[in-house]
Amino acid sequence: MTADLEADALNALAHALGVSNASWSSEEQRYGVLGSLDKSSDMIVIAKTGSGKTMIPIISSLIEPNTWTIVAIPLVSLIHDYERRLSQLQIPYHLFTDGHTLNAYTA
């Protein structure tokens, strides 16, 4: 992983948060973001509440806008949070449940 890629990821995080500079919320967030950008294997991120998991796929989508990122979200409240954030950032998404598209946003 290059320092340039980490700098790009932090810039994307700053953009997503609407700040001029950003830092990782946790080491788990840093490893999750850099691992998702590495693409050498599939990954599952398990980390405690408040560690910055939500931003991991968002940062990846900002850096690589023409790729798919699949996120399994177990709670309806978290689904609504993702929808709100993705819409605000104008990141296209599709929400699937039981094989059907429920909602979609296209930039």
Question: How many CB atoms lie under 10 A from the CB of residue 73?
Answer: 14
pLDDT score of 60 more than 70? yes
Per-residue pLDDT of 10-50, as tens digits, reads 999 998 888 999 999 999 999 999 998 988 888 888 899 88
For residue 105, give the 3-state DSSP assignment: strand
pLDDT score of 98 more than 80? no
CB-based contacts of 62-71 (< 8 A; 24+ apart in sequence)? 62/12, 62/15, 62/16, 62/89, 62/91, 63/8, 63/9, 63/12, 63/37, 64/37, 65/91, 69/36
What does pTM read for this prediction?
Answer: 0.78
